[in-house]
Structure 1
């Protein structure tokens, strides 16, 4: 008898969980669940988060989530804040002839909207016949929600609220680490990766009581996913690569037939080894950069009185490499041109750091001179005139998109190619920042940050008309039907590979083949350790 073939209709949907924290952000929250009405096409009278299909017009699943929330609850970014992304999963429901792919998201009611005001902020539409707050732990653990909720409600919630399946210390620890990573706008990706690896190490220790269960290895891989996706995704390529390599090595230990304590100690040794090795790899980038300058600008018989470098932002790799490379090169004067890098003025910060390092390292060397010129971001073309090297950092390297770096990097690269075609655009980066195409980190997504970082400078300088613009932007956030004004604070942009002359790393000057090889390695490991995390409920 021939096997029966099922042609299930495939549907990608968003499931958005709205949380409030009545006892403070560090305490246990409540989650809002909505009872579907008899007017919807599926799962009538079942309890569910705010759900809906992802349409072709939606830019991405998160856009669809915001649209559905606005339509079904009237909540907007003025009352609600995006919190977490859940790892997508799929399942088949033969009763409705569908194969669902669930994209779960978590949102937090803003402080002014919580409590009694939060009750009033939510206005349901025809798709629901009621709603109420629930203890999220009860939803995850109480099997009654299997019958009263939509299919895999507990799994969807678990994907965004992992605290429900962990002991209190482990859940709070991972949650605090994600908050730290997400709101750290000072550290570079190298430092953020170290923070993430230490948090991962803490997770291993705090969750060790569960090592006797097969689900512990699944939780470990899910924790790694959260540290990348819900930490600082835009700067998470290095974290993803580092965690995948660690998971691969830990996997061998996990499979051994030995007591949990022995496994734990060996796994911690692996993590400690990778943490210790990070410092030495950063030093290798500096050494390679000095070698690159020597071979390209100080060839035999070519003595120079001055080397002129142009950069922006506060990359620790650039900061350390510039001073150390200059110390090893036979060049009397180093001229640094630095864009101030708004809105946080990282260019000023890196100028201060380099100046401080120079004064301490070269105070007894009169033959070494440092000249720093700081330019506004809009003066990139002027700053690019007659420079030798434009130095860029990298938060991500994509074989299809190019280099993701601080906003302003693309105008700078374009300017120097036009104004000084002989200059070299050099990216200083470790190989671990290469991102593959496994879909964990979305190369299409732009990190749009708090607009007050931009507007507070206007306010401080009493810019004429700023109050009207800021007020209109606030009104637009509350009422999308009004004339809209938005203040955008995008941190990163892509510089195409065609504009980059060299990728300088600890492994040497990277070739296209080496970048592709690293991207392929990430895709293979992600498929093995992240994509394969099973559905539990």
Structure 2
């Protein structure tokens, strides 16, 4: 109390938003051998001197995002760039107050995998600590703790477990979780639908392997945290994955709240998720039927009935191939299929081979493959452009394989009467937000470079320049090869959304988007 008995006013808390980055080494992808780097803060920093911590720094007003802050701080404090690290996990942000120093911290945790030299990285030898640290060491993540003897910064374990849920899952469940996430991250062949199924299977395997002796609130929180990371494993496919996962969580929650033995809860949870997976098998058939009905009513039986249908598409999709073959059989028309090759993985070529392989005598079609740059030529006189979707924004914009937008723009110019049709599961509708908020997936430039080898003059010069990715301060010869997989098609260019629930409008998409957003808040907001 003061001399006049008036309570002393405490100083207002200073609020700081921080990006904290953990480096991991994952030998053979085995979580049992995982190691995390912790850095010893020096005596020159303002807070938590000589404590162990991840690489961290304040989010500045000029930083585009906390992730941009993380990359800047990593470069400043270790000398590493993106060529030596790979984003592994994005943790759920959280806040806490440290009254001892008058701060309220908001922590944005990230996990990066340290690339070794065989992958083009610099490895551990490339880490050069600056004045903010006295050094660093490698630890088993499960050994990190909050004790004074360990000597970590406040809430170190909370930050770590948000990028490494294995900390709480136990060895068997941790292995299932790590394996499932790696499979999702590394699969660049399957589409969003298949990845969503993989995500649900990962959740199912996780439930089967978690400790079922006490299915309590802690169990449920650990489950939701793991599900958060499953949803974030592939941002470009995140809409389909998230929708499928929150549907699974709906089912799991309904059983979790019942008065049953732990073993019975686990049994029913697994059975319910298996039922969800079985129901997904009927999705393609429903989309196929809606597609055929749409063509019958809007394309082939209009004022000028057609006995031949010119269709332009790209990329590989089992849904598209099934729909096209069904249309040819049910409508009794000849299909003139035009397919862009879809570099660098040539999914369009794969689609053409699928159609030729499964087509029967009852289907009459021809297939013409075009280079991606020939989209205007391929679009001449087409009746419909058929595309899939990896994401659908809350306003009806569609994210699909790169090359989709030039294809549609070419069609608008050379065949303006053609219709653009999207074939998609409803689970690909994203939560509310603009397309600018969606992650852009950059992929390994080596995928592109490999396609040039052996036949493209000068390809070796480009490759040599890329191998010197770090460059030098005096060199003016720099090269960048961008390998982006997806781009957005504005809703105004789209005539129809064909789904397993019928023909959808933008209004239907808005409703589903709001549902996804509400479910995400319900399961993840309070983590």
Category of TM-score, reference length = shorter chain:
over 0.9
Deviations 1:140-168 (A, max 9, x none): x45337x8222211111111122222222
Q: Which residue does 2:67 correspond to in 1? A: 62
Q: Which residue does 1:161 correspond to in 2? A: 164
Alpha-carbon spacing, 1:216–1:482, altered in 2? closer, same or farther (3 Å): farther
Write the distance in 2 (CA, Å) between the matches of 1:28 and 1:480: 38
Q: Does 1:309 align with 2:323?
A: no
* SS across alignment from 2:349: helix
Write the distance in 2 (CA, Å) between the matches of 1:295 and 1:401: 23
CA apart distance, 1:510: 0.7
* SS across alignment from 2:89: strand
Which range moved further: 202-211 or 153-162? 202-211
CA contact (8 A) 1:313 1:346 kept: yes
- Counterpart of 1:465 (choices 458, 462, 465) is 458
- Counterpart of 1:25 (choices 20, 23, 29) is 29
CA apart distance, 1:485: 1.7
CA apart distance, 1:134: 1.9
CA contact (8 A) 1:77 1:477 kept: no
When normalised by structure 2's length, the TM-score is 0.93
Q: Does 1:490 align with 2:484?
A: yes
Q: Does 1:77 align with 2:79?
A: no
* SS across alignment from 2:190: coil
Q: Does 1:255 align with 2:257?
A: yes
Alpha-carbon spacing, 1:214–1:399, altered in 2? closer, same or farther (3 Å): closer
Alpha-carbon spacing, 1:213–1:352, altered in 2? closer, same or farther (3 Å): same
- Counterpart of 2:493 (choices 496, 499, 503) is 499
- Counterpart of 1:369 (choices 352, 364, 372) is 364
CA contact (8 A) 1:79 1:113 kept: no
- Counterpart of 1:198 (choices 201, 207, 213) is 201
* SS across alignment from 2:228: helix
CA apart distance, 1:300: 6.1
Write the distance in 2 (CA, Å) between the matches of 1:6 and 1:288: 64
Q: Does 1:87 align with 2:82?
A: no
CA apart distance, 1:499: 0.9
CA contact (8 A) 1:427 1:500 kept: yes
User: How do residues 217-366 of structure 1 correspond to structure 2 at under 5 angstroms?
Assistant: 217-230=220-233, 232-299=234-301, 302-331=304-333, 333-358=334-359, 361-362=360-361, 365=362
Write the distance in 1 (CA, Å) between the matches of 2:367 and 2:215: 59
CA apart distance, 1:61: 2.5
* SS across alignment from 1:399: coil
CA apart distance, 1:280: 0.8
User: How do residues 438-477 of structure 1 correspond to structure 2 at under 5 angstroms?
Assistant: 443-461=437-455, 463-477=456-470
- Give the gaps of 5 or more residues in structure 2: 1-5
Aligned residue pairs: how many?
Answer: 518
- Give the gaps of 5 or more residues in structure 1: none
Write the distance in 2 (CA, Å) between the matches of 1:55 and 1:474: 32
Which range moved further: 200-209 or 448-457? 200-209
- Counterpart of 2:147 (choices 139, 143, 147) is 143
Write the distance in 1 (CA, Å) between the matches of 2:224 and 2:392: 24
CA contact (8 A) 1:188 1:316 kept: no
Deviations 1:191-223 (A, max 9, x none): 111111111111001004353342110111112
Q: Which residue does 1:510 correspond to in 2? A: 504
Write the distance in 2 (CA, Å) between the matches of 1:338 and 1:388: 14
Q: Which 4+ runs in 1 deviate beyond 6 A?
A: 1-6
CA contact (8 A) 2:314 2:341 kept: yes
CA contact (8 A) 1:113 1:121 kept: no
Which range moved further: 59-68 or 379-388? 59-68
CA contact (8 A) 2:251 2:273 kept: no
CA apart distance, 1:91: 1.8
Write the distance in 2 (CA, Å) between the matches of 1:443 and 1:435: 11
* SS across alignment from 1:437: coil
